[in-house]
């Protein structure tokens, strides 16, 4: 759940450049469609890719949708594809840890072929998030995904992490908290995305692995400076992740939580270290 700066490009020129590489017959079709496509591009930007306010173009002539849909296949072989893949860095903005390996159509090209190659609609993502997101189109905030180019969670922490020790075993739980400091429609999208992308399970697996790998470091700080020294170290880590990725990256939430947790500071990290992270089991 990381915000990305939207690509600054001439989107109409991108369209013209790509159409210019297609066969003469397809070029005729796509050139004749361009006026309506460009109008739709403007609406996409005005409404930040929100399907509530955007309707797919209804083409009267045959072949338009298919030609627009297949533009993306051509894009994948172009230099522009690599440029768009690289704009957000190496990590997926939807989960914050998966390696970017694909472009996700925020509005799927099956429903909106006119946006198949619009850079604003192409979000660098990991394969798992792209697969889980699928071709879903939500018309209301409660069933919509966040748009990494437009939806801002830059300031307010809504991702919460809770660490506890129960019967000798450490537990980690991620959830979305309610706050009036974030608009209700944005919060609804956060909750939907958190559920659909199975982020509670995926964050927990990452967090268990993270703590297991950092156990020796935690132990060094605790041994040298006691729980307060460990707390200060965890706070510094949290601030670093907030500065780099915002307050709703899973590591920001994890370290913020651990720094406040007496059970962890007084040796709870040892309980985590003996656990083996398991694959996500949720079927939500």
State the residues that interact with Zn ion by CB under 5 A.
92, 94-95, 98, 126, 129
**Closer Cβ to Zn ion, 87 or 259, answer by number:** 87
* Least distance in angstroms from the C-beta of 22 to Zn ion: 31
Give the shortest CB-4-to-Zn ion separation in angstroms: 13
Q: Which is nearer to Zn ion, 98 or 268 (CB)?
A: 98
CB of 280 to Zn ion, least distance (A): 13
Which residue number, 200 or 230, has a Cβ lying nearer to Zn ion? 200
Q: Do residues 52 and 140 touch, judged by C-beta distance below 8 A? A: yes
- State the minimum distance, in angstroms, from the CB of residue 241 to Zn ion: 17
Helix locations, the chain, DSSP H: 11-19, 24-46, 64-76, 79-85, 127-133, 184-196, 199-245, 250-259, 262-263, 269-273
Beta bridge partners of 225: none
- Name which of 95 and 123 has its Cβ closer to Zn ion: 95
Separation of alpha carbons 228 and 234, rounded Å: 10
Whichever of 18 and 94 has its CB closer to Zn ion, that residue is: 94
Which residue, 101 or 110, has its beta carbon nearer to Zn ion? 101
CB of 62 to Zn ion, least distance (A): 37
Q: β-strands 159-166, 169-176: how paired? A: antiparallel
Q: Tell the smallest beta-carbon distance from residue 25 to Zn ion (Å).
A: 38
Measure CA 25 to chain center.
38
Long-range contacts of residues 255-261, Cβ cutoff 8 Å, at least 24 apart: 256/157, 256/161, 257/160, 257/161, 257/162, 257/163, 258/161, 258/163, 258/211, 258/234, 259/231, 259/234, 259/235, 261/163
Neighbours of 172 (CB within 10 A): 24
């Amino acid at each position: 759940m990381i915000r990305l700066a939207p690509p600054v490009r001439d989107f109409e020129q991108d369209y013209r450049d790509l159409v210019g590489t297609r066969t003469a017959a397809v070029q005729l079709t796509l050139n004749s469609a361009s006026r309506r496509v460009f109008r739709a591009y403007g609406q996409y930007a005005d409404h930040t890719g929100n399907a509530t306010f955007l309707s797919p173009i209804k083409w009267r002539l045959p072949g338009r949708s298919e030609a627009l849909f297949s533009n993306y296949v051509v894009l994948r072989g172009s230099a522009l594809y690599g440029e768009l893949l690289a704009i957000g860095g190496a990590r997926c903005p939807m989960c914050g840890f998966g390696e970017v390996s694909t472009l996700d159509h925020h509005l799927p090209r099956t429903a909106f072929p006119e946006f198949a190659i619009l850079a604003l609609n192409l979000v660098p993502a990991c394969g798992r998030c792209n697969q889980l997101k699928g071709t879903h189109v939500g018309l209301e905030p409660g069933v919509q995904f966040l748009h990494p180019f437009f939806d801002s969670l830059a300031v307010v922490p809504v991702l919460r992490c809770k660490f506890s020790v129960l019967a000798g075993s450490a537990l980690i739980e991620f959830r979305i908290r309610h706050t009036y400091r974030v608009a209700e429609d944005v919060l609804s999208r956060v909750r939907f995305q958190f559920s659909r992308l199975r982020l509670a399970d995926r964050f927990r697996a990452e967090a268990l692995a993270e703590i297991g790998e950092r156990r020796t470091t935690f132990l060094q700080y605790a041994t040298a400076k006691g729980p307060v020294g460990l707390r200060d170290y965890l706070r510094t880590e949290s601030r670093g992740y907030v500065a780099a990725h915002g307050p709703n990256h899973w590591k920001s939430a994890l370290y913020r939580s651990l720094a406040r947790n007496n059970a962890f500071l007084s040796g709870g990290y040892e309980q985590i270290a003996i656990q083996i992270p398991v694959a996500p089991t949720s079927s939500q």
